[in-house]
Amino acid sequence: MPSLLNDTKNDTAVLLIDCPDRKGLVAKVAGLLYEQGANILHADQHQDHELGLFFMRVEWALDGASVDEGSNAIATFTSAFAPMAAELEMRWQLRSSRQRPRVALFCSQYLHCIADLLHRSSAGELACEIVVIVSNHRAVEDLARFHGIRFEYVPVTPSTRGEAEAQQLALLAELGVELVVLARYMQILTANFVEHYPSAIINVHHSFLPAFIGARPYHAAHARGVKLIGATSHYVTSVLDDGPIIEQDVARISHRDQVEDLVAKGRDLERVVLSRAVRWHLEGRILCYGNKTVVFD
């Protein structure tokens, strides 16, 4: 279970909704929050007219409330909201900013993404608790020790993949992990692993997907003579590099750039798009539908 913070300053509740679109949805949600005495800080919505779907994110203040008072306020709202949500066929999530999801970071030999996430976490930019770093190499062990985070070395070979994943899943269950971040973890997860964490495994791919999937996209981009390279953060599904895209960014290159130049420029992109995706997930800004995402401001 996520831990609860004792500091009540700037505490908020976040409600995420998706449902069939119809008139009056915003008014119904806002009206109920008004009845509950909630002070709405942010509200945003999106309609997919082609599919007839409605998406909404509402954030309201819990400032000044004790942990118990804040929990009671959320429980009271939940009791009032649940019947309306059922009537309107809403899928919904409600969480408090006091809840700090427990996160596991996976990586292999490239450390730029995981170093960036650890720095942002220590600077207070990521509202989570990083409880373990898992790797099939020992390159990150010193970095984990520096940050005081548990390190688990789990070697993976084609013949031991099932055993390694069973060990990893047991570890994640033991630690109550809610989000897995693949910070340049150069192993393909099996469908069995992914099924344990639906829409809760975030990967960074060193390409502007769907172009140049696979393990050597910078080499493929250089061979193709592209003028832009990119990086993509996405949720992991059982199909390689095909999960719902969360964030992408690009950098311009030229004929003068060699593969090593593309790799260097790409690393900056990878750090940025992964950290944004993780932060947005932790702040409850992402809704998945089909193979797409809505990312609220």
Residue 201, domain CATH = 3.40.50.170
Peptide bond into 210 cis (omega under 30): yes
Checking if the pLDDT of 221 tops 90, the result is no
Residue carrying structure tokens 């942990």: 67
- Does residue 21 have an active-site annotation? no
Overall number of domains in the chain:
2
Domain final residue, candidates 96, 125, 145: 96
pLDDT grade, residue 229 (50/70/90)?
A: confident
Q: Is the predicted pLDDT of residue 137 greater than 60, yes or no?
A: yes
Residue, of 241 and 209, whose pLDDT is higher: 241
Split at pLDDT 50, 70, 90, the class of 219 is confident
Same domain? For 261 and 290 the reply is: yes
- Domain that residue 274 falls in: 100-295
Give the per-residue pLDDT at 70.
63
Any idea which residue has 């409880």 for tokens? 131
Share of the chain above pLDDT 90, in %: 75
Q: Are 151 and 145 in contact (CB under 8 A)?
A: yes
Separation CA 187–CA 137 (nearest Å):
11
Is the separation of the CB atoms in 98 and 67 below 8 Å?
Answer: yes
Q: What is the CATH number of the domain that holds 31?
A: 3.30.70.260
Q: Are residues 86 and 128 in the same domain?
A: no
Answer with the one of 96, 126, 145 that is the final residue of a domain.
Answer: 96
pLDDT at 155: 96
H or E stretch covering 279: helix 259-282
One-letter amino acid of 267: R
pLDDT per residue over 231-283, tens digit each?
Answer: 999 999 999 888 999 999 998 988 888 888 888 888 999 999 999 999 999 99
Give me the mean pLDDT over the 123-132 stretch. Answer: 97
> Are 61 and 208 in the same domain?
no
Among residues 11, 18, 241, 257, the one annotated as catalytic is: 241
From 73, 96, 119, give the residue that closes a domain.
96
